[in-house]
Chain A
């Protein structure tokens, strides 16, 4: 029996800066995971992935990442995506720097 499709977001790195980015429902790229579009339908997710992958002048390495629905939007379910969301542990760089 195939595994049930779990919620996902589309993520990549920005072409110019390299920052971790996510696709919103409005077809914008955001640096904030909370603003990312949550994809709950597998066929729709595949279509959105194909569309996003064609935007190679904006994004690099587009893929679907697992998330869970949280109170404030999508939340990572794996520590790698959590680190991608926050930035490195050793300095307040990346996303943490922007928040400061």
Chain B
């Protein structure tokens, strides 16, 4: 993984010193809140509903054990013993006090982390496939490019006051696990005539106007990528709507001007940016690449895994659900669910973080990942170690076998924490997970993605959930709208609204009726919820939701 050089370390230390002084001046009254707010936001510090919130970047979701242990320390020392992993591969602390934040940033800097550009109208944390460097279907590890983009965008003088925030995601596999089509720029590693290059998508995004990204270029070479991306952001920086924040994102610019005109403007601008790049980016890229070299995989028998798989049904269930195929023989990618039934999606306690760090250092080549689905990944584990890993996870409430299942819910913090939210998300997710655990039909239901947002900004990615839930305020009452048929993969699709929303007490029974309709209508257990929806359309699900007679039948 990438290690800071002297420049990086000095840069972060200087920023922290600067912010420490700014906090001191805010507390002693030298700065008003109007003066201080943009400064704290530049360092990832928000003021939310009940407290401050510090958002820390986890670049492309990659962590080592020391970093995870430091995140645990921050949770324990400065928060209430837990941290919240988000859909943008960040971690958020929900309860810091203002005077403590400079110390938190210094502690992060000790392990080469920071909170710069995790807020504001700038290029945010660059995200990537959480299986990067490990996935069997990968063309190339997307993280060196993500790191190059991170270095280029951090404190980029032209892009600190963009029309709105800007999100870039990178995948190295044709099977998209980074939701690139719902990002301002989505980058996919591709191979053409034996050459590695990049497909560039633009104008995707969720929020109040959800859109799927459009292809801007089918192949951009390594030499051209950074000047090309710079040209895209530069064109939007000029064209982007600053008169209306709701129309400021690049998806609106692309929609209003059309992809052909945007492509033309980008190519025109690219000629200028290309000339300004003197090859330093390529030299940096060559320095970055070896830092993401795969670990030394060992060649060992997998008998211990096979024996445990045969003998222990609990281990078998976990292995079947939570493991993914690794590129190296004898290895697996282990997904740790931090969504035990009834728990807050994305929350991990300090103790759990330390357990995961210990397992990574002992069995996992010192690597961890945070997925956009709010889980933790051990990207490189030998199968022979999995029974021991599973036992340790189980002892700390981390062995829930529900990855990809109905209780593996993405949920934004919602109105329990977020000042922007219009309704709660977390308790809805908790109740759905608990209800389907009680019903004991989670495995029978199979793959089903529920995603919940507590407001129209869609941090919970509800638009691309197979079942999406959007919490709203309707005349002073929490109301939940349902969408169906969303897809976050390479076949990305925006879900369609079913109809009127449901009250807080009605939403879990409504989801139960929806799932009941799926179980009734699927051709066989291999047909997923999404496939059934695509085959039958909205009608049977709408009937289950809104037709009282059919609802009763579906519920029985």
Which of A13, A57, A77, A90 has the most CB atoms of chain B within a 10 A radius of its CB?
A90
In the bound assembly, the distance between CA atoms of A80 and B424 in angstroms comes to 10
Contact present for A89 and B47 (CB under 8 Å) = no
User: Which residues, 11 to 39 on A, are CB-close (under 8 Å) to B?
Assistant: 13, 15-20
Contact present for A88 and B476 (CB under 8 Å) = no
Q: Is B538 an interface residue (CB 8 A)?
A: no
Q: Is B331 an interface residue (CB 8 A)?
A: no
Q: How many chain A residues have a CB neighbour from B under 8 Å?
A: 25
Q: Least Cβ distance of B324 to chain A in Å? A: 29
Q: Is B51 an interface residue (CB 8 A)?
A: yes
Q: Least Cβ distance of B19 to chain A in Å? A: 16
What is the chain B residue whose CB lies nearest that of A17?
B97
Which one of B47, B80, B473, B478 lies within 8 Å of A18 (CB-CB)? B47
* Number of residue pairs A-B, CB distance < 8 angstroms: 72
In the bound assembly, the distance between CA atoms of A89 and B418 in angstroms comes to 12
Which one of A60, A91, A95 lies within 8 Å of B80 (CB-CB)? A91
Contact present for A90 and B32 (CB under 8 Å) = no
In the bound assembly, the distance between CA atoms of A89 and B424 in angstroms comes to 9
In the bound assembly, the distance between CA atoms of A10 and B430 in angstroms comes to 33
Contact present for A56 and B32 (CB under 8 Å) = yes
**Chain B contacts of A88 at CB under 8 A?**
50, 416-417, 426
Contact present for B415 and A17 (CB under 8 Å) = no
Contact present for A60 and B33 (CB under 8 Å) = yes
**Chain A contacts of B426 at CB under 8 A?**
88-90
Which one of A17, A56, A77, A83 lies within 8 Å of B33 (CB-CB)? A56
What is the chain A residue whose CB lies nearest that of B34?
A56
User: Which residues, 464 to 512 on B, are CB-close (under 8 Å) to A?
Assistant: 473, 476-478
Which of B51, B97, B98, B427 has the most CB atoms of chain A within a 10 A radius of its CB?
B51
**Chain A contacts of B344 at CB under 8 A?**
90-91
What is the chain A residue whose CB lies nearest that of B82?
A91
User: Which residues, 384 to 432 on B, are CB-close (under 8 Å) to A?
Assistant: 415-417, 424, 426-427, 430
Q: Is B529 an interface residue (CB 8 A)?
A: no
Contact present for B476 and A90 (CB under 8 Å) = no
In the bound assembly, the distance between CA atoms of A11 and B49 in angstroms comes to 12
Contact present for A16 and B98 (CB under 8 Å) = yes
Contact present for B477 and A79 (CB under 8 Å) = yes
Contact present for B478 and A19 (CB under 8 Å) = no
**Chain A contacts of B309 at CB under 8 A?**
none
Contact present for B51 and A84 (CB under 8 Å) = no
In the bound assembly, the distance between CA atoms of A91 and B342 in angstroms comes to 12
Q: Least Cβ distance of B267 to chain A in Å? A: 45
Q: Least Cβ distance of B221 to chain A in Å? A: 48
Contact present for B417 and A18 (CB under 8 Å) = no
Contact present for A83 and B415 (CB under 8 Å) = yes
In the bound assembly, the distance between CA atoms of A88 and B50 in angstroms comes to 8
Q: Is A93 an interface residue (CB 8 A)?
A: yes
Given A79-B477, A79-B478, residue A18 in contact with residue B29 (CB < 8 A): no
**Chain A contacts of B47 at CB under 8 A?**
13, 18, 60-61
| A37-64 Cβ-contact flags toward B at 8 Å (1 or 0) | 0000000000000000000110011000
Q: How many chain B residues have a CB neighbour from A under 8 Å?
A: 30
In the bound assembly, the distance between CA atoms of A56 and B47 in angstroms comes to 14
Which one of A15, A78, A90 lies within 8 Å of B416 (CB-CB)? A90
**Chain B contacts of A15 at CB under 8 A?**
26-27, 33, 98
Contact present for A18 and B52 (CB under 8 Å) = yes
**Chain B contacts of A13 at CB under 8 A?**
47, 51
**Chain A contacts of B52 at CB under 8 A?**
18
Contact present for A90 and B50 (CB under 8 Å) = no
| B32-51 Cβ-contact flags toward A at 8 Å (1 or 0) | 11000000000000011111
Q: Is B95 an interface residue (CB 8 A)?
A: yes
In the bound assembly, the distance between CA atoms of A82 and B54 in angstroms comes to 24
**Chain A contacts of B427 at CB under 8 A?**
89-90
User: Which residues, 1 to 53 on B, are CB-close (under 8 Å) to A?
Assistant: 26-27, 29, 32-33, 47-52
Q: Least Cβ distance of A49 to chain B in Å? A: 15
In the bound assembly, the distance between CA atoms of A18 and B93 in angstroms comes to 13
Given A90-B427, A93-B80, residue A16 in contact with residue B99 (CB < 8 A): yes
Q: Least Cβ distance of A77 to chain B in Å? A: 8
In the bound assembly, the distance between CA atoms of A87 and B99 in angstroms comes to 22
**Chain B contacts of A73 at CB under 8 A?**
none
**Chain A contacts of B49 at CB under 8 A?**
20, 83-84
**Chain A contacts of B97 at CB under 8 A?**
16-18
User: Which residues, 60 to 81 on A, are CB-close (under 8 Å) to B?
Assistant: 60-61, 77-80
Contact present for A94 and B424 (CB under 8 Å) = no
**Chain B contacts of A20 at CB under 8 A?**
49-50
**Chain A contacts of B33 at CB under 8 A?**
15, 56, 60-61
In the bound assembly, the distance between CA atoms of A13 and B33 in angstroms comes to 12
In the bound assembly, the distance between CA atoms of A90 and B80 in angstroms comes to 13
**Chain A contacts of B477 at CB under 8 A?**
79
Q: Least Cβ distance of A28 to chain B in Å? A: 19
Which of A16, A56, A61, A88 has the most CB atoms of chain B within a 10 A radius of its CB?
A88
In the bound assembly, the distance between CA atoms of A2 and B416 in angstroms comes to 34
What is the chain B residue whose CB lies nearest that of A87?
B50
In the bound assembly, the distance between CA atoms of A13 and B417 in angstroms comes to 13
**Chain B contacts of A16 at CB under 8 A?**
27, 97-99
| B426-440 Cβ-contact flags toward A at 8 Å (1 or 0) | 110010000000000
Given contacts A18-B48, A20-B50, A87-B50, 6 further A-B contacts (CB under 8 A): A16-B97, A16-B99, A18-B96, A89-B426, A90-B347, A91-B344
Listed in ascending order, the chain B residues whose CB lies under 8 Å from chain A are: 26-27, 29, 32-33, 47-52, 80, 95-99, 344, 347, 415-417, 424, 426-427, 430, 473, 476-478
Can you list 23 pairs linking A and B with CB atoms under 8 Å apart? A15-B26, A16-B27, A18-B50, A18-B97, A20-B49, A20-B50, A56-B32, A60-B47, A61-B47, A79-B477, A83-B49, A83-B416, A83-B424, A84-B50, A88-B50, A88-B416, A88-B417, A88-B426, A89-B424, A90-B347, A90-B430, A91-B344, A94-B50
> Which 3 interchain pairs have the tightest Cβ spacing?
A88-B416, A18-B51, A18-B52
